[in-house]
Amino acid sequence: MIDFKDVSKHYDNHTALRKITISVSKGEMVFITGPSGSGKTTLLKLIYLSEKLDEGHITVSERELENLKDSEIPLLRRNIGVVFQDFKLLNNRNVFENIALALRIRGEDDRELKSRVFDALKIVNLRHKADSYPQALSGGEQQRVAIARAIVTEPPIILADEPTGNVDPDTAAGIIKTFKDINARGSTILIASHNRELFRNTGRRVFKLENGNLAGEELG
Amino acid sequence: MSLPYSFKLAVSSMLHEKWINMLSVLTIAAGLLFTAIIAVTIYNVDMLTKKLPDRFSVMVFLKENLPQEELNNIIAIVKKDNSVENVRYIPKDDALKELKATLKNTEYVLEGLGENPLPDSIEIKLKSDAVSPDTVKQLTTVMKDLKGIDEIEYGEKFLSSIYSLRLGVKTAGFVFAAIMISGMIFVCYSTIKLLFYRKVQEIETYKLLGATKGFIRAPFIIEGAAMGLAGGILSLVGILLLYYSVILKLSLTIPLLKALFFPINLSFILPLTGLFLGILGAHIAIGRIRY
Ligand SMILES: Nc1ncnc2c1ncn2[C@@H]1O[C@H](COP(=O)(O)OP(=O)(O)OP(=O)(O)O)[C@@H](O)[C@H]1O
Ligand SMILES: [Mg+2]
């Protein structure tokens, strides 16, 4: 589903990722961990082409990203639900519209849209906040809106960047449970986090990044 | 791409940014109004002067007692010219009759003339698309060298001044219209550019969520189109008001104004031009979208 082969990424004169080779199969749920600045976010960005790789090859759902045409990028991104580390919620829209946006961009009509948005809100326990604006939400609530927006389209791939960074341990456990449920329905999921509690005893593969290098792989 | 949603985004942006949108609409309306006034002026100058070629003719006065042979020769040469529509020989007796007919009741002015003082003549009508100072000059220089011709008469000064007027008014009008239209495209361009920049952050998020270029462009194109269309309709209202209230009232005192035509086509040309300018301006403002 997602294949990295000798992938490197340089920012100006700084190397963020060095010769990374990993492979995630369809239906897998894996974790990426490592200290701050080790390259977790960069690795995810390469998958949805927010950043372009400098060396190596990446294949996502049989698409070779090096050769992807500009016009194919939206199609790639529609297959991927991303929980951005900085959420990227739009402040001029309420929670409902923020989540609905992902469906509208895919041309979903109004009839189905409403129930799907409310289903997603229910999963993250925020039905009662549908009419609130992002500024009026706590950090953890905003994070859960971002998760709802990523899962509402039921994409084949979900990338979650520190999806529990702003919540208490109980809520974090709830979020991981949510991802497990979605994974059980077939989505391939990558979760980046420095929080080792998240994957302890999950039995899932964990990739460890250190300073842009793949320092190892273990089972959680 | 969901078009209803694009319309919704465009409408919400128009309401949210109503002042800047209104200002652009007014600017476009004013620009189109001025352009329309110019267009109406050109249209009227054109209408008034278009019929002139039909009435235009060259009179060739012949020497007295010209032999038939030479007359035929002159007519043959004139007829060969490409710009000539037809040639009519007017014997002096016919000319006198025509003169008498025009004078009707004031025939007495001709009394006591005794012998017919008028010369024989040829009237040359030109093809209406060939009537211009240049072709007439060409024709007359050829004829001047012919034997048997006494004098050639055509409204030389009049013809060339009408032509300069037509040409001058048209050129000035088109230059002015071109400047105004570029100006209006620029107004749409800068307004949409401004609105686009205000939403750069939002658009980045759209892109990351998988929006196509069409999805991103559509609301801005719709907004530009609405702006242009509103400006066009407003300018139409303006020129109609101007025509009916001012021109028609003034024509009571200045009867010449009554002859002004209102080109009815303007009622769809103005809104459509506005629409087109708005779309074009918005299109240029958005430019190329890259992921
Ligand atoms: N746009 C950029 N321009 C220049 N350098 C960048 C850019 N983005 C990231 N970097 C650098 O690349 C390295 C990896 O950054 P990245 O965001 O991938 O780390 P991370 O593992 O996600 O860290 P964190 O846990 O703090 O989110 C860092 O040293 C960072 O400073
Ligand atoms: Mg990060």
pLDDT in tens, B264-277: 888 899 999 999 99
Task: Look at residue B259 in the predicted model and tell me its pLDDT.
Answer: 67
Instruction: For residue B53, name the pLDDT band (cuts at 50, 70, 90).
Output: low
Residue B215: its chain A contacts at CB < 8 A? 105
Instruction: Judge whether residue B2 has pLDDT over 80.
Output: no
- Least confident stretch, A45-49, A76-80, A129-133, B247-251: B247-251
CA of A86 from ligand 1 middle (Å) equals 13
State the pLDDT confidence band at B137, using cuts at 50, 70 and 90. confident
CB contact A31 to B (< 8 Å):
no
Does residue A130 belong to the interface with chain B, where contact is any CB pair within 8 Å?
no
Task: List the one residue out of B29, B58, B68 whose CA is nearest residue B187.
Answer: B29
- Mean pLDDT, to the nearest integer, of B226-238? 95
A158 touches A190 (CB < 8 A): yes
Of all atoms in ligand 1, which is nearest to the CA of residue A39? 18
Report how far residue A151's alpha carbon sits from residue A102's, in angstroms, rounded to the nearest whole number.
9
For residue B280, give Cα distances in angstroms to A3, B14, B188, B202: 44, 18, 8, 23
Query: Measuring CA to CA, which residue among B112, B139, B32, B124 is closest to residue B86?
Result: B124
What is the Å distance from ligand 2's center to A40 Cα?
A: 5
To the nearest whole angstrom, how far is the Cα of B272 from the nearest Cα of chain A?
A: 30
For A74, the closest of B5, B202, B212 (CB atoms) is B212
A194 CA to centre of ligand 2 in angstroms: 9
Q: Which residue has the higher pLDDT, B67 or A156?
A: A156
- Give dist(CA A109, CA A130) in Å, integer: 19
Q: Which two tokens stand for residue A143?
A: 């994070």
Does A215 lie at the interface with B, CB-CB under 8 angstroms? no
pLDDT at A59 over 90: yes
The answer to whether the Cβ–Cβ distance between A92 and B211 falls below 8 Å is: no
R_g of chain A, CA atoms, integer Å: 17
Cβ-Cβ contacts under 8 Å, A74 against chain B:
207, 210-212, 291
Partner residue opposite A105 with nearest CB, options B215, B290, B291: B215
**In chain B, what are the domains?**
3-51+161-286 (no CATH), 57-153 (3.30.70.3040)
Shortest CB distance from B211 goes to which of A70, A92, A105?
A105
- Candidate from A77, A106, A108 with C-beta closest to B208: A77
How far, in Å, CA of B142 to CA of B125, rounded? Answer: 16
- Higher pLDDT pick, A219 / B161: A219
Superfamily of domain A1-79+188-220: P-loop containing nucleotide triphosphate hydrolases (3.40.50.300)
pLDDT of B257 above 70:
no
**HSE-CB for A40 with a 13 A CA cutoff:** 26
The pLDDT score that the predictor gives to residue B158 is 75
pLDDT of the residue at B107: 67
DSSP state letter for B252: T
Residue A132: predicted pLDDT: 97
Of B136, B191, B162, the C-alpha closest to B48 is: B162
Do residues B87 and B123 make contact, with C-beta atoms less than 8 angstroms apart?
A: yes
Lowest mean per-residue pLDDT among B52-66, B170-184, B261-275: B52-66
DSSP state string for A93-124? S-HHHHHHHHHHHTT--HHHHHHHHHHHHHHT
Region B79-104 average pLDDT:
84
Nearest to B195 by CA among B6, B1, B14: B14
Any long-range contacts for B237-240 (C-beta under 8 Å, 24+ apart)?
Answer: B238/B29, B238/B33, B239/B33, B239/B36, B239/B37, B239/B40, B239/B266, B239/B270
- Phi-psi category of A211—alpha, beta or left, where left has phi over 0 and alpha has psi -120 to 50? left
B21-35 tens-digit pLDDT: 999 999 999 999 999
The one-letter code for the residue type at B281 is G
Helix locations, chain B, DSSP H: 3-16, 18-50, 52-55, 68-80, 92-103, 133-144, 156-198, 200-208, 213-241, 248-250, 266-286
A168-207 pLDDT tens trace: 998 899 899 999 999 999 999 999 999 998 998 889 999 9
What is the average pLDDT value for chain A, to the nearest integer? Answer: 94
Say if B157 is an interface residue toward chain A (CB within 8 Å).
no
Confidence at A143, pLDDT banded by 50, 70, 90: very high
Q: Can you give the pLDDT at residue B211? A: 95
Does A11 sit in the ligand 1 pocket, CB within 6 Å? Answer: yes
The confidence score (pLDDT) of residue B41 equals 82
CA distance B175 to chain A (A): 41
Q: Is the pLDDT of residue B256 over 80?
A: no
Predicted confidence at residue B265, as pLDDT, reads 85
A1 part of contact set with chain B, CB < 8 Å: no
Mean pLDDT, rounded, of chain B: 86
**pLDDT band per the 50, 70, 90 thresholds, residue B1:** low
- pLDDT > 90? residue B207: yes
- Are B126 and B58 a contacting pair, CB within 8 Å? yes
As a whole number, mean pLDDT of residues A43-63 equals 95
Domain extent listing, chain A = 1-79+188-220
Question: Residues A41-61: what's their mean pLDDT?
Answer: 96
Q: What is the pLDDT of residue A47?
A: 97
Percent of chain A at pLDDT exceeding 90: 87
CB contact under 8 A, A74 and B290: no
Distance B13 CA to ligand 1 centre (A): 35
CB-CB under 8 Å, B5 with A104: yes
Confirm if A76 and A49 have CB atoms less than 8 A apart: yes
Q: What pLDDT is stored for residue A64 in this prediction?
A: 95
Give the model's confidence band at B243: pLDDT under 50 very low, under 70 low, under 90 confident, else very high: confident
Of the spans A42-51, A194-203, B31-40, B92-101, which averages the highest pLDDT?
A42-51
Give the pLDDT confidence score for residue B178 in this predicted structure.
92
Report the alpha-carbon distance of residue A166 to residue B215 in Å, rounded: 32
